Chains A and B, each alone.
Chain A
């Protein structure tokens, strides 16, 4: 019931079926910590769009403030000024600096935040049961289907601590999707994984994306990951963070790992590597000064 009869990777067949949701407009957002003058500026007049039904990847050096932006969308932290809209509805703005967290925007955290005291399926069914959307039995049935779909059959009743970290991340994405979010917010979810596991995870994520068409906002400091996954890549300056360069990656979807060796991919890498390196260098020297 959950798998469409349409070929999984037939990207062109799906888009217009359902109205796309999950578009985010970030306008002139500023975030500073501490008092106005002595405070640290984390996000500096940041403006860009996350298009609905697409993967938007933000690349920037560690600690540049990109997570701050994600937390503002999720409603975990307030902004100082500017505004953020989700599908033309105001999430946060001058009158209401902190958005309300909600199941329409689910975060998949850097080191994972599956509840270790719940089994995988209890984790996956947490959202719909909490929101009273599904009965326990219905939630379990849906969870079993979705987990099987994501290649997670057989670990339903294990605890997260008993499975490999790559698998854990997949469970967490399924837990997020169970809430039927408008947008998935991924905060360097594959940071701690080795590069082989990472490459498998990238393809798995794309597959989930092609099936669900959920809007994805993805944060990373890995340029290759960004270009491989993204429809759009936003390169951030080092702290305070501001878009330095926005690229539309015209490599057609569906993509798989053969893309990495294509000329177009290398061209994008060449075009952006200098900009990213420059910011990383700035971040590094700034860090040297601080310590």
Chain B
């Protein structure tokens, strides 16, 4: 186990991609640091970058922040909302997409409505959803749900409709019932598209939850309570109001990291669910 881990670590460390990644991040950080200190260093303000606090200051801020429980409460709140919205989008979106792909009648009835609602940006739903739902929490979760929902449904429909007709013919010849065909052909054949939809969808969910928190004032928990638990979006907004630019950037970076972790986790799960796609 330990040996396998060591071997893997060595193969990662000796890979070109790993070092390219290190160089890419390092160059980015140096550019940012120098750019934001350009006024002091060269006497000339570098456009845009000089307005942003340097990474060293952001890092210091982050080190302070991770020791504060309120930061983690914000992160947890946003994560929960993402999770709720995303889960609901999967639970409702996958069966709906499959039903739309399988039944021409159902598709004919639902698709036009779906296509009219789909282009509406999730954030445009925020005011309406605050009116519709009894609590702030539910309205944020609903908007988050919408962010992932349409992407997942569209991917499921696309995946299921693209299934090669020969698979159905072969299965039918070999004595499969309609249920067998659904369970053993349609479902596994659509799985790769479901994984793609979920991976893309969870990214959108993070984008949406933060904006929804900003607009709605962070939900019931943090309406007046400063950074004490309105979610990461509210935390950033609050930092802006309070004039702490390092906190703004620190908040942004934590969203980036959270989004990256979510997508990476889903990719991992996806790989495990579709072992036939990994060439080895």
A residues touching B (Cβ–Cβ < 8 Å)? 74-76, 101-103, 105-107, 109, 111, 113, 115-118, 126-127, 130-131, 159-162, 179
Contacts and interface: CB of A to CB of B under 8 A. Distances in A.
A102 B175 contact: yes
A103 B169 contact: no
Contacts of B277: 161
B115 interface: no
B120 interface: no
B275 A159 contact: yes
B166 A101 contact: no
Given A101-B169, A105-B173, A107-B170, A115 B180 contact: no
Most buried by A among B167, B189, B280: B167
Contacts of B280: 162
A117 B188 contact: yes
Contacts of B191: 117
Contacts of B184: 115, 126
A109 B166 CA distance: 8
Most buried by A among B170, B276, B279: B170
A15 to B, nearest CB: 27
A103 B189 CA distance: 22
B16 interface: no
A78 B135 CA distance: 58
Nearest to A179: B174
B172 interface: yes
A102 to B, nearest CB: 7
Contacts of B274: 117
Interface extent on B, as a size class? 20 to 34
Given A159-B275, A161-B279, A131 B174 contact: yes
B173 A102 contact: yes
Contacts, number: 66
A159 B173 contact: no
Contacts of A101: 169, 172-173
B175 A113 contact: no
B49 interface: no
Interface of B: 164, 166-167, 169-176, 180, 184-185, 188-189, 191, 274-277, 279-280
A6 to B, nearest CB: 29
Contacts of B180: 130
Contacts of A76: 169
B276 to A, nearest CB: 4
A113 B167 contact: yes
Contacts of A74: 169, 173
Q: Nearest 3 CB-CB pairs, A to B? A: A127-B174, A131-B175, A113-B166
Contacts of A130: 171, 174-176, 180
Contact of B276 (A113, A116, A131): A116
A115 B174 CA distance: 13
B92 to A, nearest CB: 24
Given A117-B189, A162-B280, A179-B175, 10 more contacts: A74-B173, A109-B166, A109-B169, A113-B167, A113-B170, A115-B170, A115-B184, A116-B276, A126-B174, A130-B176
A159 B277 CA distance: 9
Contacts of A111: 166
A102 B276 CA distance: 28
Nearest to A187: B166
A161 B174 contact: no
B21 to A, nearest CB: 29
A75 B172 CA distance: 10
Contacts of A75: 172-173
Given A159-B275, A159-B276, A103 B167 contact: no
A76 B168 CA distance: 10
Contacts of A109: 166, 169-170
A113 B169 contact: yes
Contact of B164 (A113, A126, A131): A113
A130 B176 CA distance: 6
A185 B229 CA distance: 67
Nearest to A158: B276
A127 B175 contact: yes
A136 B218 CA distance: 55
Contacts of A131: 174-175
A120 to B, nearest CB: 11
B59 to A, nearest CB: 45
Contacts of A117: 188-189, 191, 274, 276
A161 B175 contact: no
A107 B165 CA distance: 13
A85 B175 CA distance: 20
